[in-house]
Amino acid sequence: MNAKLALYTQVLKIGLQGTLVYRWNFLIRSVGSFLPLLCSMFLWGAVFENQETFGSYTYQSMISYFILIMMLDAFTSPTEDDFQIAGEIKDGLINQVLLKPLNYLSYRFVLYLSARAAYMAVAALPLFIFCLLVQHYLSVVPISSTLLPTLLALVGSALLQFLMTYTTAMLAFWLLDIGSVVFIVYSVEHLAGGHIFPLDVLPPQLYSICMALPFAYQHYFPVAVCLGKLEGEALYQGLLMQWFWIGFFYLFAQAMWNRGLRSYTAVGG
């Protein structure tokens, strides 16, 4: 057990060292992530110009929603993990992991954590400064009432995003290029995951459909919990659904890995 822990700790250190080489890329990405938010602020400013509320949102709570979406996306979304995994499968680099006492899913998850930790270290300050500059747009929610469910939803969001990315990458065992699949998943995720608009402004039937899909639990759900939009039974059902999808994609990813290995032909490593 101690030997395995030491091995994964070493993977984490290597991942951090390798990722921090690109710290300027992270800084540019964090600054660039403000641009869609600024567009959203102007767009929703026009919407709220002649009305005080849109659905259950005021202008302040709508901007708070998109700021939290931006921060969640910056700190938890996998960056190129799907293409990295697909490349390792295609180039035979997974042989290096297969020959060691490492679980490939755990190995990739540790690398995902190292990349997210490095990004947080680089991007936290500019994001904090930005939030100070726009604090008058933010709506305040009592932290004590949402802290625990928000933390659970955030952990669930990170796990679900990683597992869905990992599962998509497993298609590299059978497809020459997963780029088209990644683009489709990314597009659906942005539409059905609450990136473009909060899902609860949709008609009830469409909202129910979105909440039955895994995409809503990547970004919309944790942000809605943080803003106090989901309480009581709706909150508990949401947490159950989020962790259901985590379990589903974990099992699905393992099944795809095991099946893929049976048809895998090593070409390198």
Q: Note the pLDDT tens digit of each residue in 33-43.
A: 667 777 888 88
Mean per-residue pLDDT for 160-177?
A: 95
pLDDT value at residue 33: 66
- Please, which residues bridge with residue 175 across strands? none
pLDDT digits (tens, 9 = 90+) for 51-71: 888 888 888 888 889 988 988
User: In the predicted model, what is the mean pLDDT of the chain?
Assistant: 85
Between residues 99 and 1, which one has the greater pLDDT?
99
pLDDT digits (tens, 9 = 90+) for 188-234: 999 999 998 999 999 999 999 999 999 999 999 999 999 889 988 99
pLDDT value at residue 268: 44
**pLDDT of 21 above 60:** no
Any residues with CB less than 8 A from the CB of 108 and at least 6 apart, and which? 81, 85, 162, 166
Between residues 176 and 130, which one has the greater pLDDT?
176
pLDDT confidence tier of residue 185, bands split at 50, 70 and 90: very high
Residue appearing with tokens 């403000």? 34
pLDDT value at residue 265: 59
pLDDT value at residue 50: 84
**pLDDT of 250 above 90:** yes
pLDDT confidence tier of residue 144, bands split at 50, 70 and 90: low
**Is the model's pTM score more than 0.85?**
yes
Weakest mean pLDDT among 118-127, 174-183, 189-198, 220-229 = 118-127
pLDDT confidence tier of residue 103, bands split at 50, 70 and 90: confident
Distance CA 4, CA 1 (A): 5
Distance CA 119, CA 76 (A): 9
pLDDT value at residue 5: 67
Q: Would you give the DSSP letter of residue 33?
A: T
How would you classify the pairing of strands 57-58 and 53-54? Answer: antiparallel
**pLDDT of 257 above 70:** yes
**pLDDT of 156 above 90:** yes
Q: Would you give the DSSP letter of residue 175?
A: -
Q: Where are the alpha helices (DSSP H) in 101-178?
A: 104-133, 143-169
Mean per-residue pLDDT for 3-12?
A: 66
Any residues with CB less than 8 A from the CB of 20 and at least 6 apart, and which? 118, 121, 122
Amino acid at 250: Y
pLDDT confidence tier of residue 7, bands split at 50, 70 and 90: low
Mean per-residue pLDDT for 5-18?
A: 65
Between residues 139 and 194, which one has the greater pLDDT?
194
pLDDT value at residue 41: 81
